[in-house]
């Protein structure tokens, strides 16, 4: 049973507080939770938008990043946020290599093969983690950060962790968008995504550019993995359950659109928190229902743009 990280929203409803405040609080916490989903989903969105690759191991790489962060934190005795400075660049390198040497090879065979290969990667990562690190669940020690929050007013408080994650998510999506639309390399990425062959005859090294896109996607996966690890505990099998949330965010927002993914993540987060407000067990289901409604009524998503 997959559950959203429960520490994401702290019901700050005081006894006797108006019910309106409770709902406002739920929406705010939902938006913040949506930031986590968007941060997690934007790598999936980028890889799909640029290479048409659906990375089924996306969630497992996030879990792997969380384990790596744990090792870095305990090994180097640094605070949780600093671990991102080590894990994200490392994951960028991993992403480039995985793209060039594993995904690209399957992409050359057929797009369907990439599904099989990334599914295989997912199983390999899960089992490698299971055999080496056991099935015990872990969490990232975020120290005083975990319980610290800003009191907006009497009824509404915002946790540091969720605020930092949300801000990171907006910055990452904004930076990615700027990179794609304003830089020469971003232009090459879009050209390679539009038409591989035409890109190669204007001088774009398509495989290298795809590797760069994967490197960026994996760096965001690392950030998301660490964020998840701060929100809640993780274990080797946690990846696929989380992947569902990323898929839902991407589909709600519109395949391959980065701002759409941010919006999709936020809508999913709000739906889950509002659902949980109605009934504690209804949260995840409410998210799925919104996802299904969008899939039925607007299959191309709310912002059906290509990566531009």
Partner 1 sequence: MIGANGAGKSTLMRTIAGLHAPLAGTIRLDGQDITRVPAHKRVAAGIVLVPEGRRLFASLTLEENLKVGATRARRGRWNLGRVYELFPWMIERRERPTAFLSGGEQQAVAIGRALMANPRILLLDELSLGLAPVVVHRLYDILPELLASGMTVLLVEQDVTQALRVSDWAHCLLEGRITLSGRPHDLAPADVEAAYFGLAEKRASGRG
Which residue, 125 or 255, is less far from partner 1 as judged by CB?
255
Q: DSSP assignment, residue 302?
A: S
307 binds partner 1 (CB under 8 A): yes
Cβ within 8 Å of residue 203, ≥6 positions away: none
Q: Per-residue string for binding with partner 1, 199-238, x by CB under 8 A?
A: xxxxxxxx--------------------------------
Q: Compare residues 106 and 193 and give the one whose CB is closer to partner 1.
A: 193
The reply on whether position 273 binds partner 1 by CB under 8 A is: no
Nearest approach, Cβ of 113 to partner 1 (angstroms)?
A: 22
Residues whose CB falls within 8 Å of the CB of residue 104, separated by 6 or more in sequence, listed in order: 207, 210, 211
- Interaction between residue 198 and partner 1 (CB under 8 A): yes
Contacting range for partner 1; rule: CB under 8 A; set: 8-16, 168-176, 237-245, 300-308: 300-308
Q: Which residues, 6+ apart, have CB-to-CB distance to 163 below 8 Å?
A: 32, 150
- Least distance to partner 1 from the beta carbon of 199, Å? 8
Nearest to partner 1 of 33, 209 (CB atom): 209
| Interface characters, 174-193, with partner 1 (x: CB under 8 A) | ----------x--xx-xx-x
Q: Least Å distance between CB 188 and partner 1?
A: 6
- Asked if 241 contacts 2 with a C-beta cutoff of 8 angstroms, the reply is yes
CB 47, min distance to partner 1, A: 17
Residue 162 or 188 with smaller CB distance to partner 1? 188
- The HSE-up count of residue 49 (CA atoms within 13 Å, CB side) is 32
Please select the residue that binds partner 1; options are 194, 279, 281, 293, rule is CB under 8 A.
194
Q: Which residues bind partner 1 (CB under 8 A)?
A: 184, 187-188, 190-191, 193-195, 197-206, 306-308
């Amino acid at each position: 049973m997959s559950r959203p990280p429960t520490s994401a929203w702290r019901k700050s409803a005081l006894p006797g507080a108006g019910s309106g405040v409770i709902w406002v609080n739920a929406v705010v916490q939902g938006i913040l939770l949506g930031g986590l989903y968007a941060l997690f989903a934007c790598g999936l969105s980028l890889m799909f938008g640029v290479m048409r690759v659906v990375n089924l191991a996306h969630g497992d790489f996030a879990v792997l990043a969380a384990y790596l962060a744990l090792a870095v934190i305990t090994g180097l005795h640094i605070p949780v946020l600093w671990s991102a400075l080590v894990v994200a660049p490392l994951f960028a390198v991993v992403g480039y290599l995985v793209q060039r040497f594993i995904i690209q090879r399957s992409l050359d065979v057929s797009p369907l093969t990439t599904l099989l290969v990334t599914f295989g990667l997912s199983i390999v990562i899960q089992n490698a983690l299971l055999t080496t690190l056991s099935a015990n669940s872990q969490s990232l020690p975020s120290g005083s950060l975990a319980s610290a929050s800003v009191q907006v007013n009497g009824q509404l408080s915002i946790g540091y962790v969720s605020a930092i994650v949300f801000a990171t998510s907006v910055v990452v999506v904004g930076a990615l968008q700027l990179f794609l639309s304003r830089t020469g390399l971003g232009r090459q990425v879009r050209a390679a995504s539009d038409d591989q062959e035409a890109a190669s005859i204007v001088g774009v090294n398509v495989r290298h550019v795809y590797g760069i896109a994967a490197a960026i996607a994996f760096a965001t996966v690392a950030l998301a993995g660490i964020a998840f690890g701060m929100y809640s505990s993780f274990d080797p099998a946690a990846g696929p359950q989380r992947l569902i949330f990323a898929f839902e965010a991407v589909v709600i927002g519109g395949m391959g659109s980065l701002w759409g993914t941010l919006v999709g993540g936020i809508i999913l987060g709000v739906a889950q928190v509002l659902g949980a407000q109605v009934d504690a067990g209804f949260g995840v289901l409410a998210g799925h229902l919104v996802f299904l409604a969008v899939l039925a009524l607007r299959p191309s998503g709310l912002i059906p743009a290509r990566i531009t």
